[in-house]
Amino acid sequence: MTTYLLKNVSVLGGEPQDLVLKDGVVSTGSTTEGVEVIDATGLIALPGLVDLHTHLREPGREDAETVETGTHAAALGGFTAVHAMANTEPVADTAGVVEQVWRLGREAGYCDVFPVGAVTVGLAGERIAELGAMADSAARVRVFSDDGRCVSDPLLMRRALEYVKAFDGVIAQHAQEPRLTEGAQMNEGELSGRLGLAGWPAVAEEAIIARDCLLAAHVGSRLHVCHVSTAGSVEIVRQAKARGWNVTAEVTPHHLLLTDELAATYDPIYKVNPPLRSAADVEAVRAGLADGTIDIVATDHAPHPHEDKDCEWAAAAFGMLGLETALSVVQQTMVDTGLLDWAGVAERMSYAPARIGRLSDHGRALEDGAPANLVLFDPSVSRVIDSSETASLSRNTPYAGRELPGRVVATFLRGKATVLDGKLA
Ligand SMILES: NC(=O)N[C@@H](CC(=O)O)C(=O)O
Ligand SMILES: [Zn+2]
Ligand SMILES: [Zn+2]
């Protein structure tokens, strides 16, 4: 295996130093013999990014994405671990399916894949799935979610929260009260009325988050809130944390950058669940991510083939790509605005998501002996996003034609380069 010497690299934005990647681990000393030298002057090293929320679509929708293509996109985005959501066909609600997804990730070798297990059988919201069997399987599932659907039955949610305590699991809730969002198409507000698109009220998200925080506190379990999108949601999570409840939350890159104004184009590339919200909501989720109320950034990478997106708004699928652009969007919205430094980015895109997912070999500081999972990032350049250049099988990026700052130069998984010079290695 190649030994790499990263010359003059700025770890978390600090003073330039050398890092050696040898036999799968990091060392801060220097060696010169038999090494491949990478001039990392001006580059920032971050621990390999960890995504708690990715849709890889395999099994079942291999026309949209596969574990192989999705993990290529992940590596190009600087990720060394992704959690693959359970809304596949068949649903990842048994030990057999989660082991299959986990193994496909290992075989592809670009990024570790940690399957998320479904909370209910078939995501139908009626019976709890085999959570314990998934936890005990080779995939060691710790995160459970019916994402795409809300676990709306409060008794089922309570039982699931109680159940996962036995193996230190967490329920990741897609917070959407179904009765308040029937037929909903975009953020409810003055604009939805003007555009004639059915509104999706903030309270549909906030009511479920409030309920679930109370349930998690009542049974003493861990709750994670997927894709927080409104100012009110941030406030509820803030209050839950102030009371010492075990609640964590994520925000997506697109909810940090884009607003509901984009719906005025009627271009379904901007159609996503939860919907893009107002500028005031964007400001609130940025502030919540900065002050730690929102723990992490998660991509909610949601590939869809063109026939499901290139149609009229109401008929189009919800979802957008995110893996290859996440770090750039975070640079633009959080670092270049002065809201976070690079150490803060490492916390929110690597350490904290690894802790929530109970991963041991990811989300580790780049110190002597740590697994060599890291990304080299150049924040000084910018690029115009071209949807035809993605490694994903789908093309539904909302950033096509936009200029975004920064570029992933290299990614290493256990010391092996998965990306070099910005290309798959
Ligand atoms: N985010 C989306 O708009 N879509 C996701 C489901 C989800 O995350 O709720 C998908 O699976 O396509
Ligand atoms: Zn969701
Ligand atoms: Zn999702």
Which pLDDT score, from 0 to 100, does residue 32 have? 75
What is the Å distance from ligand 1's center to 53 Cα? 10
* C-beta of residue 398 within 8 angstroms of C-beta of residue 269: yes
Mind listing the domains of the chain with CATH numbers? 3-44+370-424 (2.30.40.10), 48-356 (3.20.20.140)
Listing DSSP states for 64-114 in one string gives: T--HHHHHHHHHHTTEEEEEEPS-SSS-S-SHHHHHHHHHHHHHH-SSEEE
Please return the burial class of 400, using the count of CB atoms within 10 Å of its CB with bins 0-12, 13-18 and 19+: middle
Return the axis-axis angle of helices 154-164 and 202-219, rounded to nearest 10°: 50
Share of the chain above pLDDT 70, in %: 100
Q: 292: how many CB neighbours lie within 10 A of its CB?
A: 13
Separation of CA 54 and ligand 3 centre (Å): 7
pTM: 0.98
Per-residue pLDDT reduced to its tens digit, 221-276: 999 999 999 999 999 999 999 999 999 999 999 999 999 999 999 999 999 999 99
Q: Which of 196, 154, 147, 149 is nearest to 314 (CA)?
A: 196
What band does 31 get if pLDDT is binned at 50, 70 and 90? confident
How remote is the C-alpha of 194 from its chain's centroid? Answer: 32
Mean pLDDT, all residues of the chain: 98
pLDDT in tens, 348-394: 999 999 999 999 999 999 999 999 999 999 999 999 999 999 999 99
Ligand 1 proximity of 419 Cβ (cutoff 6 Å): no
pLDDT at residue number 407: 98
C-alpha dihedral sign at 252, 283, 363, 144: negative
Most ligand 1 atoms within 8 A of CB, residue of 250, 273, 320, 323 to mutate = 273
Tell me the pLDDT tens digit for each residue of 335-344: 999 999 999 9
Q: Which residue has the tokens 């994402």?
A: 147
Distance set, CA 377 to CA 158, 209, 260, 415 (Å):
42, 35, 30, 16
Q: Look at residue 143 in the predicted model and tell me its pLDDT.
A: 99
pLDDT at residue 307 above 80?
Answer: yes
State yes or no: pLDDT of 23 exceeds 90. Answer: yes
Please count the residues of the chain.
Answer: 425
Which ligand has an atom closest to residue 54 CA? 3
Which amino acid is it at 292? G
Integer Rg of the chain from CA: 20
pLDDT band at 33 (very low <50, low <70, confident <90, very high): confident
Phi, psi at 314, each rounded to 5°: -65, -30
**Is 87 one of the annotated binding-site residues?**
yes
Annotation marks residue 153 as catalytic = no
The answer to whether residue 30 scores a pLDDT higher than 80 is no
Tell me which of 146, 212, 300, 308 is the catalytic residue. Answer: 300
**CA–CA gap between residue 297 and residue 305 (Å, rounded):** 25
Strand partners, 351: none
H helix runs in 165-278, sequence order: 190-195, 202-219, 231-242, 253-257
3-state secondary structure of 320: strand
DSSP 338-355: TS--HHHHHIIIIIHHHH
pLDDT of residue 111: 98
pLDDT, position 121: 98
Q: How does residue 167 score in pLDDT terms, banded at 50, 70 and 90?
A: very high
In this prediction, does ipTM exceed 0.85?
Answer: yes
d(CA 285, CA 107): 37
Q: Is 232 labelled a binding residue? A: no
CA of 374 to the centre of ligand 1 (A): 27
Per-residue pLDDT reduced to its tens digit, 296-306: 999 999 999 99
Strands 223-225 and 112-115, by their bridges, are unpaired
Tell me which residue of 334, 327, 305, 270 sits closest to 394, measured CA to CA: 305
Ligand 1 in contact with 205 (CB < 6 A)?
no
Burial of 279 (0-12, 13-18, 19+ CB in 10 A): exposed
Q: What does the pLDDT read at residue 311?
A: 96
How do residues 115-141 score in pLDDT, each as one tens digit?
999 999 999 999 999 999 999 999 999
pLDDT (tens digit, 9 = 90+) per residue, 36-45?
999 999 999 9
Q: Which of 254, 286, 253, 291 is nearest to 269 (CA)?
A: 254
Q: Which atom of ligand 1 is nearest to the CA of 318?
A: 3
